[in-house]
Amino acid sequence: MNIVWTKHGEERQREWERKLGITRQEVEDLLMEPEQVVPGDLEALVAQKRRDNGLLRVPFIGTGEERKILTVYWTSRIEKYWKEG
């Protein structure tokens, strides 16, 4: 799978790396094997996994074998975003 980073996605990943140690490799691994994928805004999907009492969320647009990262963020609001069942 080919992963394409937007400038915004790269900037946000660097910010979260400074705050919580979220590496570029961790984000790419999440896209390759997400714990869960849920619908996002417009045509985007959101790959997510539980991390440090919260969720690491990566909104992306997938086109076949390519996933374009729109942004990266961590949230403590698991109950808002995690979809059971």
Alpha-carbon distance of 76 to 72, in angstroms, equals 14
Mean pLDDT in runs of 10 for the chain (85 residues)? 96 97 97 94 94 96 90 96 87
**Residues ≥6 apart with Cβ < 8 Å to 81:** 38, 46, 48, 55, 57, 75
- DSSP code for 64: T
What local confidence, expressed as pLDDT, does residue 6 receive?
97
Q: C-alpha angle 19/49/51, rounded to 5°?
A: 40
Domains of the chain: 2-81 (3.30.2310)
- Total-model pTM: 0.92
What local confidence, expressed as pLDDT, does residue 63 receive?
72
